[in-house]
């Protein structure tokens, strides 16, 4: 069975995590990790990746609207580098996550503000991972 793919939305206060189904077709929300310190957050994500049997981790890259990378993107790359150390043999990739937080907030509109705040990071990770999975499926030949 193919390994799952983890999607990670690394934020300043929380880390949202989503995981693919075993076939890599759909993304499901998995966890919100409340950790500000990069190394501790990476250890928790690595633990979840091992638990789920992930063979790949996709870290959301918050690039600017003009495509340039600022301080938040650099921090996400540092987080990804830490994951690479903790997960030998697991591929770490980066994927443009522009506007996923806004999309997640819209998707959660109508829920109580506490419920929305608690879920926005995880839904952002889910949307980012689904975007990656969809792009990947377009690259594979169909028969």
Query: 70: helix, coil or strand?
Result: coil
Q: Please list, in sequence order, all residues whose beta carbon lies within 8 angstroms of the beta carbon of residue 92, skipping any fewer than 6 positions away.
A: 56, 57, 58, 59, 80, 81, 83, 84
Residues 87-113 have pLDDT tens digits of: 999 999 999 886 555 554 555 555 554
Residue numbers of the domain that contains 71? 4-139
What is the CATH classification number for the domain harbouring 89? 3.30.420.140
> pTM of this prediction?
0.84
Which stretches of the chain drop beneath a pLDDT of 70? 1-2, 98-118, 140-143
How many domains are there within the chain? Answer: 1
How does the average pLDDT of the chain come out, rounded? 85
């Amino acid at each position: 069975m193919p390994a799952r793919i983890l999607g990670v939305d690394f934020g300043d206060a929380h880390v949202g995590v989503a995981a693919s189904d075993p076939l890599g077709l759909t993304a499901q929300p998995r966890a919100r990790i409340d950790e500000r310190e990069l190394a501790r957050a990476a250890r928790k994500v690595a633990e979840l990746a091992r638990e789920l049997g992930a063979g790949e981790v996709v870290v959301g890259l918050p690039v600017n609207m003009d495509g340039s990378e600022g301080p938040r993107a650099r921090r996400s790359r540092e987080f990804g580098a830490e994951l690479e150390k903790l997960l030998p043999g697991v591929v770490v990739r980066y994927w443009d996550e522009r506007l996923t937080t806004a999309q997640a907030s819209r998707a959660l509109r109508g829920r109580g503000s506490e419920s929305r705040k608690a879920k926005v990071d995880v839904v952002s990770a889910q949307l980012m991972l689904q975007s990656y999975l969809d792009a990947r499926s377009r690259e594979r030949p169909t028969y």
